[in-house]
């Protein structure tokens, strides 16, 4: 009898203790999303702003209730742009139960792609390499932006449409074109085949490529090597610092060429670093610059102020906006999948996020000056063209919004996927 009373009391006591004591720390399961960023390595000139922008985007998303009321736990690491470290950190993020990963560079994203396919984890990267857009090969790789090859094809097309007709030699000869990039960089080399293909399509004469390191601050030898070819147009495929160095040296040495730049080399820091030499430089802008007047930009700017008050707003870049682009597209995919009953707190939900989330998007508008986004089970090119802008008169101005699919529908559909 005594034992029975004791047990009853114990049960009541434990129940009270549990209800009162632990109820305040009872936590709903969160959706785990991981991140790999470069805040200390070879691309930290653009990677730091992206990393903090991504964290801000997830804080904003949680402030809006997360994914249909379920909060996201976003954990990210700096991997210093080192592929072995990216692989190690990816494995850690997987072990921690992350159901999607926000990745960074082309080298590591492409290196991780077979593992990502095997693990079936949606991998939303800051690498926009076209090699990641064919679901037959890379079914779990995604990003919000036009891919590098689309950027490159759009940029050379915009120059051909808008600048070449104003040239004194227009109609007299072929325009001369060459590429400048770091040969050993997977990011730099990713769109080279495509842009040369586009150059041939448009009737350019193609000159010799120049190898410029991502760390270059002196590129005079490469500029001098280009002089005999007398290029009318050069593509630069690096990030901002070495792009600025090359543009400056070309200006100082009187190369007299126009520039088109891939998106990671074309940002608010370019005119700060290149000065007068940046005048007229054109670049691929898959989304608006930080603070430009576009839908949802107010959220980006206010979140930057709220969540990172230590970083002056004047120092923020388009990289933050790009981070938001990837975060918003994942958010939408997760919301759609969740509504279809997919449990996003459980490992192994990747295929369902793809099928019920990403691959249901058709012309989805995230704002931020980005093109409408579509993913299908057979085509992961998010956008069919790119807005090309130039730095002119102290501000970024539109040159042309090129839509490759509209212009070359057959080539777009049958030839250009995946490279």
Partner 1 sequence: MKKKLVLMTVLIFGLSVALISCVTTPVKPTNKNFIAPKVTLAGFEVPQYDGYWYFSSKVKPTKGKAGNRGSMLPLSFLFNVQNENPYPILLNGMIFTVVFDKEFSLVTYNNQDEYWIPAGKTDQIRATTLITARSALLSLLVTGGFKLKAKGWSPWKALETWWKGVPDGTTPINITECSFSFEADGVSKIYPYEIQAQ
In the complex with partner 1, which residue's Cβ is closer, 170 or 215? 215
Q: Is 83 in the site for partner 1 (CB under 8 A)?
A: no
Quote the CA–CA distance of 329 and 167 in Å, as a whole number: 41
Residue 385 token pair: 């063209």
Q: Rg of the Cα trace of the chain?
A: 24
- In 3D space, the residue among 246, 105, 243 whose CA is nearest the CA of residue 185 turns out to be 105
What's the burial of 85, exposed, middle or buried (CB within 10 Å: 0-12/13-18/19+)? middle
Binding mask 267-286 for partner 1 (x = CB under 8 A): ------x-------------
Binding mask 192-231 for partner 1 (x = CB under 8 A): ----------------------xx-x--------------
Pairing, β 210-211 against β 233-236: unpaired
Sole window of 9-17, 121-129, 259-267, 362-370 interacting with partner 1 (rule: CB under 8 A):
9-17
Residue 156 phi/psi, 5-degree rounding, is: -70, -35
* Sign of the dihedral defined by the CA atoms of residues 292, 298, 299, 304, in that order: positive
Question: Of residues 39, 198, 257, 360, which one binds partner 1 by CB under 8 A?
Answer: 39
Quote the CA–CA distance of 105 and 99 in Å, as a whole number: 20
Size of the site for partner 1 (CB under 8 A): 42
Region at 203 (left for phi over 0; alpha for psi -120 to 50; beta for the rest): left
In the complex with partner 1, which residue's Cβ is closer, 44 or 150? 44
In the complex with partner 1, which residue's Cβ is closer, 31 or 366? 31
In the complex with partner 1, which residue's Cβ is closer, 156 or 277? 277
Which of the residues 239 through 258 are near partner 1 (CB under 8 A)? 239, 241-242, 244-245
- In 3D space, the residue among 318, 370, 307, 387 whose CA is nearest the CA of residue 47 turns out to be 318
Quote the CA–CA distance of 125 and 322 in Å, as a whole number: 10
Please enumerate in sequence order all residues whose Cβ is within 8 A of that of 64, keeping only pairs 6 or more positions apart, or say none: none
Q: Is 45 in the site for partner 1 (CB under 8 A)?
A: yes
Q: Is 12 in the site for partner 1 (CB under 8 A)?
A: yes
Question: Of residues 7, 13, 302, 363, which one binds partner 1 by CB under 8 A?
Answer: 13
Binding mask 329-368 for partner 1 (x = CB under 8 A): ----------------------------------------
Q: Is 184 in the site for partner 1 (CB under 8 A)?
A: no
Which of the residues 57 through 76 are near partner 1 (CB under 8 A)? 75-76
- Point out which residues bind partner 1 (CB under 8 A): 1, 5, 8-9, 12-13, 16-17, 20-21, 39-45, 48, 51-52, 55, 75-76, 78, 80-82, 214-215, 217, 239, 241-242, 244-245, 273, 306-311
């Amino acid at each position: 009898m005594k034992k029975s009373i004791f047990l009853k009391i114990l049960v009541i006591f434990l129940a009270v203790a549990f209800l009162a004591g632990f109820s305040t720390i009872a936590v709903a399961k969160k959706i785990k999303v991981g991140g790999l960023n470069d805040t200390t390595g070879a691309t930290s000139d653009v990677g730091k702003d992206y990393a903090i922008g991504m964290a801000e985007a997830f804080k904003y998303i949680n402030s809006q209730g997360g994914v249909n009321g379920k909060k996201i736990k976003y954990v990210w690491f700096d991997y210093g742009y080192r592929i072995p470290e990216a692989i190690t950190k990816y494995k850690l993020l997987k072990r921690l139960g992350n159901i999607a990963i926000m990745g960074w560079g082309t080298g590591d994203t492409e290196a991780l792609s077979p593992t990502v396919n095997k693990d079936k984890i949606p991998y939303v990267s800051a690498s926009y390499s076209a090699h990641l857009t064919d679901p037959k090969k890379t079914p779990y790789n995604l990003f919000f932006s036009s891919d590098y090859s689309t950027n490159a094809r759009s940029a050379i097309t915009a120059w051909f449409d808008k600048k070449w007709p104003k040239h004194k030699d227009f109609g007299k000869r072929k325009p001369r074109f060459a590429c400048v990039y770091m040969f050993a960089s997977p990011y730099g080399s990713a769109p080279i085949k495509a842009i040369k293909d586009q150059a041939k399509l448009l009737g350019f004469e193609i000159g010799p490529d120049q190898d410029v390191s991502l760390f270059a601050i002196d590129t005079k030898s490469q500029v001098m090597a280009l002089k005999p070819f007398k290029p009318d147009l050069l593509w630069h495929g690096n990030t901002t610092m070495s792009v600025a160095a090359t543009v400056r040296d070309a200006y100082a040495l009187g190369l007299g060429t126009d520039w088109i730049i891939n998106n990671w080399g074309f940002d608010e820091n370019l005119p700060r670093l290149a000065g007068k030499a940046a005048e007229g430089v054109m670049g691929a802008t898959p989304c608006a610059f930080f603070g430009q007047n576009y839908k949802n930009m107010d959220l980006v700017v206010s979140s930057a102020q709220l969540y990172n008050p230590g970083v002056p707003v004047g120092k923020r870049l388009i990289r933050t906006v790009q981070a938001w682009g990837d975060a918003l597209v994942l958010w939408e995919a997760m919301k759609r999948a969740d509504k279809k009953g997919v449990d996003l707190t459980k490992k192994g939900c990747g295929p369902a996020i793809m099928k019920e989330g990403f691959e249901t998007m058709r012309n989805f508008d995230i704002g931020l000056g980005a093109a409408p986004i579509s993913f299908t089970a057979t085509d992961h090119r998010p956008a069919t063209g790119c807005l090309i802008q130039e730095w002119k008169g102290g501000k970024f101005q539109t040159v042309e919004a090129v839509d490759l699919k509209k212009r070359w529908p057959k080539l777009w559909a049958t030839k250009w996927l995946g490279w």
